[in-house]
Amino acid sequence: MEQRYLLASGDLDGAGVPWFSIYRTYPHSWLCCAAAMRGRFGLARQLADRIATFHNPASDGFFADEACTIEEIMTTSMAGLASLWAGRLELARGAGRWLKNLLAVQPDLHRGLYTSWRNGLVTEFSEADAAGHFVDGGKTRQYYFQYGIAAALLSSLAGATGEAHWLDTARAFLQASAHAAEDRYQTPQSGKIGWGAAWTYRLSQLEEDRELVHAVIDGLGALQNDDGSWLATGVYGGARAEADSVVIDVTSEFVALQASMGLVKGV
């Protein structure tokens, strides 16, 4: 990755990645965490520097898109985690505050979760863009990962700071997932809920959090193919077989998430 994709600016060459301009620092954030885990601190610093350029000091979130017009849960949570791993605690705290603020202004978590911020909570959008802005409790195959990735950052902040309020907010996101549709723990979009729940359970030791981990693990297990791979049928990859052929990405993710949960099955 460093030889082929890393640019001198700390950015990545995203040519050919269709969503690169929409979720601008998401790959940087995962790679930053991996670099820190491997002791590649120079690489982690370069990536963290680039991620920081998308921080919005007015809201404490991280812009998702190339044009820096909108913030959303997945990008801000992952950028916050990368900042934490890279030793930039104040940026990570800011991302946590952004999540708390976004949760506080939700009109009705029983109906769903609004996930985007543009000088305030984004509640108006086209039907075509709905999936990226709202986890609709009345519909299946939603972006359930938004609940889990938020909890992963917030529980990490609780561990890093010793401040219990971060854990409380992590649990609030996880509990809100219970209002989503019946497939909320059974689709490819569910994996990050198990991840967030596992890291939250590690600190809370509450059976409710532990049961959520097992629900997601069982859901992922039911989706695994006989050859050990996973597809993203109807969710990440769309309904077409051609789109679902990109199995390395989702299979690697599910193995990594299960490892993070401490419950690896079927690897």
- How do residues 125-165 score in pLDDT, each as one tens digit? 999 999 999 999 999 999 999 999 999 999 999 999 999 99
Q: Are residues 173 and 55 in the same domain?
A: no
Structural domains counted in the chain: 2
What integer pLDDT is reported at residue 236 of this predicted model? Answer: 55
167 and 58 both lie in a single domain:
no
Residue 68 lies in a domain: yes
According to the model, what pLDDT value does residue 260 have?
A: 85
Confidence at 239, pLDDT banded by 50, 70, 90: very low
For residue 4, being part of any structural domain is answered with no
266 pLDDT above the threshold of 60: no
115 inside domain: yes
pLDDT band at residue 251 using 50, 70 and 90 as cut-offs: confident
Q: Are residues 105 and 165 in the same domain?
A: no
**What one-letter code names the amino acid at 37?**
M
Same-domain check for residues 138 and 267 = yes
Domain boundary among 123, 145, 172: 123
Note whether 62 and 168 are same-domain residues: no
Report which of residues 221 and 47 the model is more confident about.
Answer: 47
At residue 104, does pLDDT exceed 90?
yes
Contact 144, 216 (CB under 8 A): no
Residue 9 resides in a domain? no
Last residue within a domain, chosen from 74, 95, 123: 123
pLDDT value at residue 244: 53
**Residue 32 belongs to domain spanning:** 21-123
pTM: 0.93
Q: How confident is the model at residue 188 (pLDDT cuts 50, 70, 90)?
A: confident
What value does the mean pLDDT take over residues 229-240? 63
Is residue 8 situated within a structural domain?
no
Q: Which of 98, 123, 148 is the last residue of a domain?
A: 123
pLDDT for 262 equals 79
98 with 159, same domain? no
Q: Is residue 10 part of a domain?
A: no
Instruction: For residues 38 and 140, state if they share a domain.
Output: no
- Give mean pLDDT, residues 98-103: 98
Instruction: Say whether pLDDT at 241 is over 80.
Output: no
- pLDDT tens, position by position, 59-69: 999 999 999 99
* Same domain flag for 117 and 183: no
Both 110 and 230 in one domain: the answer is no
Same-domain status, 111 and 145? no
Mean pLDDT of 80-104: 98
Of all residues in the chain, the percent with pLDDT exceeding 90 is 79
Give the model confidence (pLDDT) of 195-208 as tens digits: 999 999 999 999 99
Residues 236 and 144 reside in one and the same domain: yes
Question: Looking at residue 208, what is its pLDDT?
Answer: 96
Is pLDDT larger for residue 181 or for residue 249?
181
pLDDT of residue 17: 87
Asked if the structure places residue 87 within a domain, the reply is yes
Residue 247 lies in a domain: yes
Looking at the fold, whether 112 and 233 belong to one and the same domain comes out as: no
